[in-house]
Structure 1
C-alpha cells in the first residue's frame, strides 16, 4: 500500500473525477416531486454502475419510495459503512439561479473556484469524494483498503420515509460494519476540518389553549372572561429562569458537562461570538449564564418558541377575546436526555398551570434523542490526525446545533457509532438557489478520505 501514490493518482485524475461528478449532477433527482421519480431511479442506477466498475457488488434495492443503493467491496481489515444520499432539493425559485441548476460548471469566485449546481454540496459532491478516494485506492493497489459497504439513500430530502424500515429489514447485513461514516456535514471553517461527534436531538410540541367556546367582544366580556392568550403568555414566560435555564422539571437529567480535553479543543477554535451574533444584528448571547456561545450551540439543550397565534392578527384593530391561542415550541436535546420523558414533563407542567375553564390540546412534532459518539475508539483520533495532515489547520472534534437523524438510526438500529466528516462550507447555499461546492472541498475531500482509509486500514 502506498498512500503517496494514491494521493498522486487523485491529483492526476481530478478532471476525470469532476467529469463523473458532473454526470451525476446532471440527473435531476428531486425526491419530493413525483414528476422526478424516473430521474431518482436513473441516479441510483448510475451509482450502481459506477460502484460495479470499481469491483463492488452493487445493486439498487427496492423500497416503497426511491431505491436504496447498497454496494459491498474489499476484504479484511476494519469494515466501514459509508452513507450518503443521491436525492436533491427542488430548485425553486428558478428565477434566482444564475445558471441552469442541473447544468453543472466550474465558476471563479472571490474565494476560489466552485462547482455550481443543485446537489453540488448536498450531497452528491460530498458523496463522490469518498467514492473517488476508493477509486484511487483500487487503481493504485488493485483492491480496496479493507471492507467497505456503500449505503446511498434516495429520500433524505423528503423525510426518509423508507429509511428506518429498510434499515430494520437489512440490519444483519448493515450492522456487520465496525463504524459508520457520514459525509453530509461541513468543516469548521475553510481551513479547519472537523469530525462532528455531537448532534443535538429534537422534540417538537404544539399546544392550543381553549377558553371560551367562541371569540368574545372585549367590551362585553373583558375582565370577567379568561383570555387564552394571557394564559399562554404566562406559560411561555415561565419556561426560563433569570439565568436562562429551562424550568421544565427533570429537563437537565442526562445532560453531561464537557470533558476538559474537548473544552480545550473548542476554545482553541477561537470562535468569535460577537461576529457570529453581529451578522444577524445581535450582540449578547441569550442562553444559560456562565456558558460560552459555542457551548450553548453544540453542547447545551434549549427551549425555543417558534411561533404564536391567537386572536385577530389582520390589518387594523379588532377588540376581541380569542377562544383559542396556540404556540409551537421546540427543544434541542443533548447527551442522554430522554425526549419522551421531557414531553411528558412539559405537558404536565402546562396542564398544572391551566386555570379553571381552560383546556389544552397537544400535537407532537417528532421526538429524537441526541447523538453522542464515543471518541474513546482509537479510530476517531486516527481519522482526526489523517485530516490534520491534509489541511492547513489541525482537525477538531466538534458539535453541531442541528440534528442528523441517520446518525441516531445507525446507533439505535445497527448499534454503530458514526464519524460525521464533510467538507462543505457555511456559505454553500444548500437548499437555496445557486448552490455550490468549492473545488478545493472536492479535491482535498477526496485526498482526506484517502488518508482516512489508510489510517483506518488496521
Structure 2
C-alpha cells in the first residue's frame, strides 16, 4: 500500500498548480439555465474529460436531451476489492445580478477573509470547487502510486442547477456500468465549521406545488360586487392560513404518516453540537424561531417536515389603486419531506385539505412541479465508518454526523435507479454565498478537502 504521507506531501508542494487548474475551469461560464451558454457547458465538460484522461481514465461525453454528462472509468490495481463512483456537476447558477459582484463572476480572484484567502467566482464551491477536491486527489494518487487504490467511475452532469431533468434517463441507460459500484461519493455539501468536518446521513425530500383558484369569469368592480361576489385572494389566504396551527403543526390529513422520531443516540449527538440558533437567525436579521414548538433547532432543520408558502399573487399589484375583486388567485407551496413520508400521500392529503375548504362557486387546480422522498443513509455502514476514520486523521477530531435540511434529488435518483447509497462529505461553509453574488470557497477548505479525499480513497478502498 502506498504511503499516504508521501501522497499528501506531493499534494502540499503543488497547491499553486491545483489552484491554477481550478481557476481555469471556473473561467468557463457553464450556466445550464441560459441557452446562450450551451457551448460553454460543453466546453466545461470537455475540460473535465481531458483532465481525467490525463490521469489514466477512459473518459468521454455522453449526450442527453440537454447538456452532456462526463462518464469516466479507471480499472484500479489488479484484484481491487472496491469500486467507487464519484458524482458531481459542472454547471453553475446564473451570475445575475452582475452589479453586486465585487469582480466579474467568471474571472476568479483571491480575496482576504476571516479564515485567510478565499477564491471568489461563480462555481467556486458549487460544485466545480468541490469536484476539484476529488479530481486533484485522484491526480496525486496517479502521480505517486500510478493510479487510484481501487476501481473508480465518474459521473459529472451539466444540469444539476436546473433540476437534473435528464439524469434519470442517463442513469437508466448506463445502469449496468454503474450498479456494481459499492458507494457513490459526493462532495456538494458543507462542513460543520472550518475546523470540523461532517458527513450528511439524511436529506429531506421536496414536494413543490402551485395552487390556482378561480371564481368569477372576469375581474369585478369592488364597489358594484363587494359584499356579494367571492374573492379568490381572500379564499386562498384563508386556506393557506389553515395549513398550520399555532404550535406549528401541519394540518394536512395524513401529513405525518411515516414520520419517525429521531433516535436517542442521534438526539444526543445533535445536542452535543451546541447549535446557536440565535446566531443562526441573527445572521439573516431574525431573532424568533419558527416551526414546530417543542422541537430542538436541529431537529426542526434536519428531521422534521415543513410547509411553506413560497409566493402568492392575484388581482392588481401595480402602482396606485385599482378596486377590483380578482377572478383568480395563485400560490406556490412547498413541503420539505423526511424519510418515511410518501410524496403521493402528501399530495392526496393536500388535495383533500383544499377541496374541503372550497365554496360552491370556486374551482381549484393543483399543479405538482417536483416531488422526491427524504433519504436516510445508514450511519453504521462501512463506508461512513471509513470516511470518519479518514476525516479524523485529517482534522484531529471526529466528523459530525448531521442531517441535511435541503434536498438532493440526485441521491434519490441514484438510489432508485442504480440501487446505490451515497456518501455525502462536503467541504463548504455556511457563508460561501452559494447561488448568490460573490460566491466563494476558502482556500483552507479547498486544500484540506483535497487532503481528506486523498485519505478517504485509501480508507474506502479497504472498507
Taking structure 2 as the reference length, what is the TM-score of the superposition?
A: 0.94
Offset from partner CA, 1:207-251 (integer Å, 9 cap, x none): 122222223333333333332233223211221123211111110
**Residue 422 of structure 2 is aligned to residue 418 of structure 1:** yes
Alpha-carbon separation, structure 2, partners of 1:267 and 1:28 = 42
Q: Tell me the residue number matched to 2:16.
A: 15
Offset from partner CA, 1:361-382 (integer Å, 9 cap, x none): 2222211111221223121122
Q: Tell me the residue number matched to 1:66.
A: 67
Match of 1:343 among 344, 347, 352: 347
Alpha-carbon separation, structure 1, partners of 2:159 and 2:248 = 38
Alignment length (residue pairs) = 458
Q: Tell me the residue number matched to 1:135.
A: 139
Match of 1:164 among 158, 164, 168: 168
Partner SS for 2:92: coil
Partner SS for 1:353: coil
Alpha-carbon separation, structure 1, partners of 2:215 and 2:33 = 39
1:131 CA drift (Å): 1.0
Alpha-carbon separation, structure 1, partners of 2:414 and 2:251 = 32
Match of 1:90 among 81, 94, 105: 94
Structure 1 unmatched ranges of 5 or more: none
**Residue 288 of structure 2 is aligned to residue 284 of structure 1:** yes
Partner SS for 1:455: helix
Alpha-carbon separation, structure 1, partners of 2:110 and 2:312 = 44
Taking structure 1 as the reference length, what is the TM-score of the superposition?
A: 0.95
With over 3 angstroms needed to count, the CA separation of the structure-2 counterparts of 1:107 and 1:62, relative to structure 1, is same
Q: Is the 8 A contact 1:48 1:59 kept in 2?
A: yes
Alpha-carbon separation, structure 1, partners of 2:44 and 2:372 = 30
Alpha-carbon separation, structure 2, partners of 1:259 and 1:145 = 36
Alpha-carbon separation, structure 1, partners of 2:338 and 2:207 = 11
Equivalent residue runs for 1:141-290 within 5 Å: 141-290=145-294
Match of 2:83 among 79, 82, 91: 79
Offset from partner CA, 1:119-159 (integer Å, 9 cap, x none): 22111111011011112222222231111111111222233
Q: Tell me the residue number matched to 1:46.
A: 47
With over 3 angstroms needed to count, the CA separation of the structure-2 counterparts of 1:16 and 1:315, relative to structure 1, is closer
The worse-fitting range, judged by mean Cα deviation, of 287-296 and 158-167 is: 158-167
Q: Is the 8 A contact 2:383 2:423 kept in 1?
A: no
The worse-fitting range, judged by mean Cα deviation, of 24-33 and 240-249 is: 24-33
Alpha-carbon separation, structure 2, partners of 1:226 and 1:115 = 55
Offset from partner CA, 1:75-99 (integer Å, 9 cap, x none): 4122111011112223333333333
Alpha-carbon separation, structure 2, partners of 1:24 and 1:119 = 9
1:186 CA drift (Å): 1.2
1:392 CA drift (Å): 5.3
1:393 CA drift (Å): 4.4
Alpha-carbon separation, structure 2, partners of 1:281 and 1:310 = 29
**Residue 363 of structure 2 is aligned to residue 359 of structure 1:** yes
Q: Tell me the residue number matched to 2:431.
A: 427
Offset from partner CA, 1:151-194 (integer Å, 9 cap, x none): 11122223323211111111111111110111111112211111
Q: Tell me the residue number matched to 1:123.
A: 127
Partner SS for 1:170: helix
For the aligned residues, what is the CA RMSD? 1.8
Structure 2 unmatched ranges of 5 or more: none
1:18 CA drift (Å): 1.6
Partner SS for 2:356: helix
The worse-fitting range, judged by mean Cα deviation, of 83-92 and 194-203 is: 83-92
Alpha-carbon separation, structure 1, partners of 2:27 and 2:298 = 38
